């Protein structure tokens, strides 16, 4: 039976991923801050919740937020607040990095495995054409490097693993409701199915890369 770990499982996409994996018969473990006290920004919490687990076939980091403590994304760099920027880095870059520091035990050395970090196209440096949202963009760009670096290191010991970043598209969740505007968006169950299809299709040849919900590679 496929074994899966979803981190951030109480969120819109995280909970949809849990449901979708369970619907296809997977054995799913789930962790979230609201239910389990799992705090990706706290070293002790990450260690306590992730140490001593049996290896998984798939691990998905679905944590992350756009607003922290009421700080909305900046319209321009002139609106930068250093404290708000540090909050973004703590949750959206350092948090996934702490989780990835356990990837060597969360994935089996001798079997295929996928470690995916949910991302956003706005974190792409190459795809940035309009500016704005500098704190969120920068934190997400930083986690690009985290994913890329971890993929290189893990490939030395886990030769069948894929460590990837995934862009789910615009999804109708509490995370995005204030920012949807006229942008087309999908419901969480559809997003979950699309993300799982992408994860099913990646392997060692795709490790260290960034893919969107259709499986297309996104520029760093």
Asked if residue 100 lies in contact with residue 152, where contact means CB atoms within 8 angstroms, the answer is: no
Lowest mean pLDDT among 55-59, 123-127, 134-138: 123-127
Residue 119 pLDDT: 86
Question: Cα 105 vs. chain centroid, distance in angstroms?
Answer: 18
pLDDT, greater one: 193 or 219: 193
Per-residue pLDDT tens digits for 156-171: 999 999 999 999 988 8
Residue 103 vs residue 129, higher pLDDT: 103
Share of the chain above pLDDT 90, in %: 74
Give the separation between CA 17 and CA 215, rounded to whole angstroms: 17
Q: What does the domain layout of the chain look like in residue ranges?
A: 3-212
- Whole-number pLDDT of residue 181: 60
Average pLDDT over residues 111-131: 84
pLDDT 10s digits, 190-210: 999 999 999 999 999 999 999
Q: Give the pLDDT confidence score for residue 220 in this predicted structure.
A: 81
Q: State the SS3 of the chain.
A: CCEEEEECCCCHHHHHHHHHHHHCCCEEEEECHHHHCCCCCCHHHHHHHHCCCCCECEEEECCCCCCECCECCCCCHHHCCHHHHHHHHHHHHHHHHHHHCCHHHHECCCCCEEEEEECCHHHCCCCCCCCCCHHHHHHHHHHHHHHHHHHHHHCCCCCCEEEEEEECCCECCCCCCCCCCCCCCECHHHHHHHHHHHHHCCCHHHCCCEEECCCCECCC
> What does the pLDDT average to over 112-118?
97
The separation between CA 127 and the C-alpha centre of its own chain, rounded to angstroms, equals 19
State mean pLDDT over 162-190.
Answer: 78
3-212 to CATH, choices 3.90.180.10, 3.40.50.720, 3.60.10.10, 3.30.470.20: 3.40.50.720
pLDDT of residue 171: 83
Q: Indicate if the pLDDT at residue 179 is higher than 60.
A: no
The answer to whether the predicted template modeling score (pTM) of the entire model surpasses 0.85 is: yes
């Amino acid at each position: 039976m496929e074994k899966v770990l979803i981190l951030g499982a109480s969120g819109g996409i995280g909970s949809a991923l849990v449901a979708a994996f369970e619907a296809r018969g997977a054995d799913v473990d789930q962790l979230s801050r609201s239910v389990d006290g799992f705090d990706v920004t706290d070293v002790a919490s990450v260690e306590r919740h992730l140490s001593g687990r049996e290896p998984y076939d798939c691990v998905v980091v679905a944590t992350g937020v756009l607003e922290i403590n009421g700080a909305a994304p900046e319209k321009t760099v002139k609106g930068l607040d250093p404290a708000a920027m540090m909050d973004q880095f703590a949750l959206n870059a350092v948090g996934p990095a702490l989780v990835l520091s356990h990837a060597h035990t969360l994935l089996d050395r001798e079997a295929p495995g996928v470690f995916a970090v949910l991302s956003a196209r706005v974190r792409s440096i190459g795809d940035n054409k309009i500016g704005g949202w500098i704190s969120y963009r920068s934190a997400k760009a930083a986690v690009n490097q985290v994913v890329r670096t971890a993929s290189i290191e893990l490939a030395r010991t886990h030769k069948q693993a894929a460590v990837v970043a995934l862009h789910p598209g615009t999804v109708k969740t509490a995370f995005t409701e204030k920012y949807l505007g006229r942008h087309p968006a999908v419901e969480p169950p559809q997003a979950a199915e699309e993300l799982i299809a992408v994860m099913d299709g990646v392997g060692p040849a795709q490790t260290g890369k960034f893919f969107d919900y259709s499986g297309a590679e996104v520029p760093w």
